[in-house]
Amino acid sequence: MKKKIFDIRSGHYILTEDDSSSASTDTTQQTGSENKPQDHPKQQNAVMNKSVESSPDIQKVNAAVEAENKRYSDSKAHTQTTYTTQKTAAEDAINKALADAGRQYAETSFDSVQTNPAVITAKKNMLDLELKYAEAMAKLEVDHARNIHRIENERLQIFSKMNNESINRLPLKYRRFLNESNIHQAKIYMGTLVQNDDEHIIKDMNDFKRVFRDSALVYGKDKNGYYTLCIDQEDFDKLYNTLQEAG
């Protein structure tokens, strides 16, 4: 049997074979049941979005970030302490070389203290120490940035897998046309129909689920508000009838 559906990709209604075997599964917040035997009441399993922080994989990433921050902090503190100790010793060596050179007589055209070999060597040691410290600190910063970059990319990969899992929970009817990049085009938001005041019937998520639990629609909530998925006229009719019955 042919039926008309809205093709998200082309932006037009098209005729397609009616697939009566499409199964319903849970998605974003909750998915309505479809094609269940008529002699059995519809059963819905409310699936609330879990915090990503509850994922063991994300918890491992958080632990890795914490461990890397501690490694960086400890390494930085050790490098700074070592540098401070070595700098003090280098400064003492310069002062001693200057004092020794000042007590010596030398027939030179220029300042005999500043041109003294021991003074020059002591000052070169200080310059080498400063460069070594700067290089060590720069390496610490780069290594830390690279490690955090790698760990946070792992987090994004996990988020991507979570998103794919949500798409894969959609009924076959929707998976044929929707993916991560275009699913937002099929979301019909309730807007001001959901308000927590005396004038509105649907005040919160509990009311929203109560109204739509028997609608056989895919519905949920994201950062933009409460929504249902509608990709064909059948979905729009269900949405209209559900809202009409709710008053």
Rounded distance, CA 30 to CA 54, Å?
A: 19
Q: Residue 234 pLDDT more than 60? A: yes
pLDDT of residue 212: 82
C-beta of residue 98 within 8 angstroms of C-beta of residue 117:
no
Q: Residue 121 pLDDT more than 50? A: yes
pLDDT of residue 194: 76
pLDDT of residue 3: 52
> According to DSSP H, which parts of the chain are helical?
56-102, 117-168, 172-175, 205-212, 233-246
Nearest Cα neighbor of 118 from 133, 134, 103 is: 103
The one-character DSSP state at 82 is H
> What is the average pLDDT across 178-187?
79
> What is the average pLDDT across 150-157?
93
pLDDT tier, 243 (very low <50, low <70, confident <90, very high otherwise): confident
**Strand 187-189's sheet: what is its strand order?**
30-31, 218-222, 225-229, 187-189
Q: Residue 181 pLDDT more than 90? A: no
C-beta of residue 98 within 8 angstroms of C-beta of residue 112:
no
> What is the average pLDDT across 98-115?
82
C-beta of residue 177 within 8 angstroms of C-beta of residue 23:
no
Cβ contacts of residue 68 below 8 Å, gap of 6+?
144, 147, 148, 151
13: which strand partners?
A: 6
Q: Residue 45 pLDDT more than 60? A: no
Residue burial 219-229, b: 16+ Cβ < 10 Å; e: rest? bbbeeeebbbb
pLDDT of residue 190: 82
Q: Residue 6 pLDDT more than 60? A: no
pLDDT of residue 211: 83
pLDDT tier, 137 (very low <50, low <70, confident <90, very high otherwise): very high
pLDDT tier, 162 (very low <50, low <70, confident <90, very high otherwise): confident
The token pair at 235 is: 């979905």
pLDDT tier, 17 (very low <50, low <70, confident <90, very high otherwise): low
222 φ, ψ (degrees, to nearest 5): -130, -165
pLDDT of residue 8: 52
Which of the listed ranges 78-82, 161-165, 166-170 does the model predict with the highest average pLDDT?
A: 78-82
For 56-81, the pLDDT digits (tens) are: 888 999 999 999 999 999 999 999 99
